[in-house]
Structure 1
Amino acid sequence: MRDRTRRRGEPARPDSAGRAARARTGRDAGRPSTRRPRSDAVRARRSEPGERAAPTRARYLTRRWVAVLVVLSVLAVTYLVMFTSMLGVRSVEVVGVRQIPEEDVIKAAAIEHGTPMVQLDAAEAAARVAKLPRVFEVHVERSWPSTVQIIVTERSPVAVLRAGSRTHLIDSTGLDYAVVPTPPAGLPTLAMSNVSPGDPATKAVVTVLGAIPKQLKVQLTTVTANTPGDVRLTLSDGRLIKWGDAHDNARKAAVLAALLTRPGKTFDVATPDFPTVADA
């Protein structure tokens, strides 16, 4: 067994690692180094957390194909919705009709089965339905995914016009829109030769009929007007009311309600501040 204890006074022996290092140093002395030192900045950049690696060619191609597939999917869905019956009309519902048959409304709308909902021209369909004489107002609405609703407001008569044995219904616009065999109960008769929405006298009459109270309206039998300022109402008991023009209707109705409690045959409220009652 070798004695590894160094004696006092004996010089220390260099170890093998030290000798090898000194030997390499000696050999490399004066010889240029080919190893490039790595800068701290490079080491810092490469060691920064969260830095993404440069995309590979395979990843780039994958992204391109995904984008192409997305575009193709959007185009396919657009084509199916816009140009096929996938989201087409399956049913047509009619709402609000009483006198008009539903079949007439559906026929007038002319909405073809399977028409794409987004291609449906609702305004054009409503315009076709509005041509029906009894239709006062109409709206066409989409009820997704495949139903179309036609909402109709029918015309309501405010008076009748007799022409021989025929009875014509007149609405609040003065339009003669229908002929019926029997006049509806509770409607006055227009004793006028020219009745139309464009006639000023007709417009005055229907305006007055829309403004007078119900308790007075049910007593009316005849309404006439030679001019817009000469509206006259005849009650069921034969009394005559000179209404005048179609202005201050609420004021005239209030004055007339008190005036009718007096005896007389002719009641003039054309000037409501100065009403008169006459026996003839």
Structure 2
Amino acid sequence: MAPSWLTRHRAVRTGLASSRVRFERRAAAVRQRPARLIVAAVGLGVVLAVVAWLVFFSSVLALREVRVDGVDDADKAAVLAAVTVAPGTPLARVDLGSVESAVQKVAFVREVRITRSWPDTLTATVTPRVALVALRNTDGTFSLVDEQAASFRIVPEIPAGVIPVNREGSAPATAGLRAVLQVLRVMPAEQRGQVTDITVSGADLVRFTLAGVQVVWGGPSDPEKKLRVLTILMGTKPTSIDVSAPDTPVTR
């Protein structure tokens, strides 16, 4: 049996050896850590580079289709023609603002929003102009005009619900057209539905028929006051009302 001092000596040597092994392992791990970080960084860089290539340069996520929402099939062709982005262009590189500006120039487009629909589609969501009046042209056609006074389409016949506007003499000035639109904007929907036969003269004089009563509206000034006076006088069942000077209206 070995003396106790020898046993203790061996235990101390064994403990020192074990501590040295653990220290060397930790030191090796510390030395390897920068290398692992470099490998991880390189790997991440490769992944990002591949993703960037796929998104910005490859044909995997390239434009293949343009979809148009908000208008009927007859108008989709005009919107598609305004989108001049070449098929095969990476979707991420399409300038959405430029496409929106191009589509906005289409006459019947009031607003448009262009979005990416991954993986390969541009979507144009269009808010079309809505005709409020139809200006009668000398050739018998009609120019549709919306509430912003934008003329956006020529048609052979007046669509249902659109009020015809007749030109008297020379073509109506911008102020005359705006006066017509002011008349319609200030009117409640029910009253507006009773308006027919609007006429605009070269002197910006607006006349129309309201529920069978001939109304002389005048120019674009004081539309709210004119409407209040007109509404009151309609209750007297006249055949004609002149509110062109709303402070001194005339009825017959």
| Residue 221 of structure 2 corresponds to residue 220 of structure 1 | no
- Quick check: which one's helix share is greater? 2
Q: Is the 8 A contact 2:83 2:102 kept in 1?
A: yes
Equivalent position amino acid for 1:194 in 2? A
Tell me which residue corresponds to 1:269.
Answer: 243
Equivalent position amino acid for 1:247 in 2? D
List, as ranges, runs of 4+ consecutive aligned residues in structure 1 with deviation greater than 6 Å. none
Deviation at 1:119, TM superposition (A): 0.7
Percent identity over the alignment?
30
One of 154, 168, 171 as aligned partner of 1:194 = 171
| Residue 247 of structure 2 corresponds to residue 278 of structure 1 | no
User: Cα–Cα, structure 1 residues 61 and 210, in superposed 2: closer, same or farther, change >3 Å?
Assistant: same
User: Cα–Cα, structure 1 residues 175 and 194, in superposed 2: closer, same or farther, change >3 Å?
Assistant: farther
Tell me which residue corresponds to 1:129.
Answer: 103
Tell me which residue corresponds to 2:59.
Answer: 85
One of 74, 77, 92 as aligned partner of 1:103 = 77
Q: Give deviations 1:6-35, integer Å, cap 9, x for gaps.
A: xxxxxxxxxxx9xxxxxxxxxxxxxxxxxx
Structure 1 range deviating more: 101-110 or 187-196 = 187-196
2-structure distance, mates of 1:266, 1:226: 21
Tell me which residue corresponds to 1:23.
Answer: none
Structure 1 range deviating more: 148-157 or 86-95 = 86-95
User: Cα–Cα, structure 1 residues 214 and 183, in superposed 2: closer, same or farther, change >3 Å?
Assistant: same
- Which structure 2 segments of 5+ residues have no match? 4-19, 21-25
Alignment of 1:149-188 (within 5 A): 149-162=123-136, 163-186=138-161, 187-188=163-164
- Count of residues in Structure 1 that have an aligned counterpart in Structure 2: 227
Tell me which residue corresponds to 1:66.
Answer: 40
Deviation at 1:108, TM superposition (A): 1.8
2-structure distance, mates of 1:58, 1:179: 77
2-structure distance, mates of 1:119, 1:239: 59
Deviation at 1:169, TM superposition (A): 1.6
Equivalent position amino acid for 1:221 in 2? D
Secondary structure, aligned partner of 1:85: coil
Equivalent position amino acid for 2:46 in 1? L
Tell me which residue corresponds to 2:9.
Answer: none
Secondary structure, aligned partner of 1:104: helix
Secondary structure, aligned partner of 2:79: helix
Q: Give deviations 1:107-152, integer Å, cap 9, x for gaps.
A: 2212333322211111111222222222222111123343321111
- Which structure 1 segments of 5+ residues have no match? 1-16, 18-45, 47-51
Q: TM-score, normalised by structure 2?
A: 0.74
Tell me which residue corresponds to 2:114.
Answer: 140
Q: Point out which structure has higher relative CO (alpha carbons under 8 A, 6+ apart).
A: 2
Q: Give deviations 1:32-60, integer Å, cap 9, x for gaps.
A: xxxxxxxxxxxxxx9xxxxx636565554
| Residue 235 of structure 2 corresponds to residue 256 of structure 1 | no
Deviation at 1:271, TM superposition (A): 5.2
Deviation at 1:275, TM superposition (A): 5.4
Q: TM-score, normalised by structure 1?
A: 0.68
Q: Is the 8 A contact 2:207 2:214 kept in 1?
A: no
Q: Is the 8 A contact 2:176 2:219 kept in 1?
A: no
CA RMSD for the aligned pairs? 3.1
2-structure distance, mates of 1:247, 1:278: 19
Secondary structure, aligned partner of 2:71: coil
Q: Is the 8 A contact 2:109 2:128 kept in 1?
A: yes
Equivalent position amino acid for 2:126 in 1? V
Equivalent position amino acid for 1:276 in 2? P
Q: Give deviations 1:137-190, integer Å, cap 9, x for gaps.
A: 211112334332111111222222222322222222223322111122341313
2-structure distance, mates of 1:77, 1:237: 70
Equivalent position amino acid for 2:198 in 1? T
Q: Is the 8 A contact 1:160 1:168 kept in 2?
A: yes
1-structure distance, mates of 2:120, 2:73: 27
Deviation at 1:236, TM superposition (A): 6.4
Q: Is the 8 A contact 1:159 1:169 kept in 2?
A: yes
Secondary structure, aligned partner of 1:69: helix
Secondary structure, aligned partner of 1:149: strand
Q: Is the 8 A contact 2:166 2:198 kept in 1?
A: yes
